[in-house]
A = this chain, B = another copy of it.
Amino acid sequence: MKQDLIEELKKIVKSKGLKYTKQREIVLDVIASSNRHLDTDEIHRLISDNHPDEKIGIATVYRSLSFLEEVGLVSSISIGIEPKKYELSMKEHHDHLICQNCGKIVEFCDEGIEKSQEKIAKKMGFKLTSHSMYLYGICQDCR
């Protein structure tokens, strides 16, 4: 599955007449390998940890993240005072529950909600392409 992502990246890069680089692959790999949402700093740190042989400048991390987000492989979001966090966007679809106190993000997927969304879109004459949903609240640990 991580391999699929890399193939996807290669395809995108080629179709745009751009270059495939180890750096872009590593940034994507780090995000794909994490089961959490990562902020820029964590991503940079994880690269040093997981790929000690490679040296990737912070500027390249930023450039890669922008690139990956622009082509739709990753997406980012920032809630309240939390720093911007990145995650894979091709990951099986999911929505988010966010604790307003500790910033914890829990992912979930609900068939019923997906169906309702389609129904509403149709009623309004929209052809849906994607969506994002964020539920805010206080998690068990913070109450």
Selected contact of A126 from candidates B113, B126, B127, B140, CB within 8 Å: B140
Question: Which residues of chain B come closer than 8 Å to A97, judged between CB atoms?
Answer: 120-121, 124, 126
Of the listed stretches A19-27, A35-43, A48-56, A76-84, name the one at the interface; the rest are far from the partner chain.
A76-84
Query: A77 touching B127 by the CB < 8 A rule?
Result: no
| CB of A17 within 8 Å of the partner chain | no
Q: Hey, what's the 0/1 contact readout for A123-137 against B, CB within 8 Å counting as 1?
A: 011111111111111
Q: Hey, what's the 0/1 contact readout for A86-121 against B, CB within 8 Å counting as 1?
A: 000000000001011000001010101100110011
Query: B136 touching A79 by the CB < 8 A rule?
Result: no
Oligomer copy total: 2
Taking residues whose C-beta sits less than 8 angstroms from the other chain, chain A's interface range is 35 or more
29 A–B contacts from the bound complex (CB under 8 Å): A69-B80, A75-B79, A75-B136, A76-B79, A77-B134, A78-B78, A97-B120, A97-B121, A97-B126, A99-B126, A106-B126, A110-B116, A110-B120, A113-B113, A116-B116, A120-B135, A121-B135, A121-B137, A125-B140, A126-B135, A126-B137, A126-B139, A128-B135, A131-B133, A131-B134, A131-B136, A132-B134, A132-B136, A133-B134
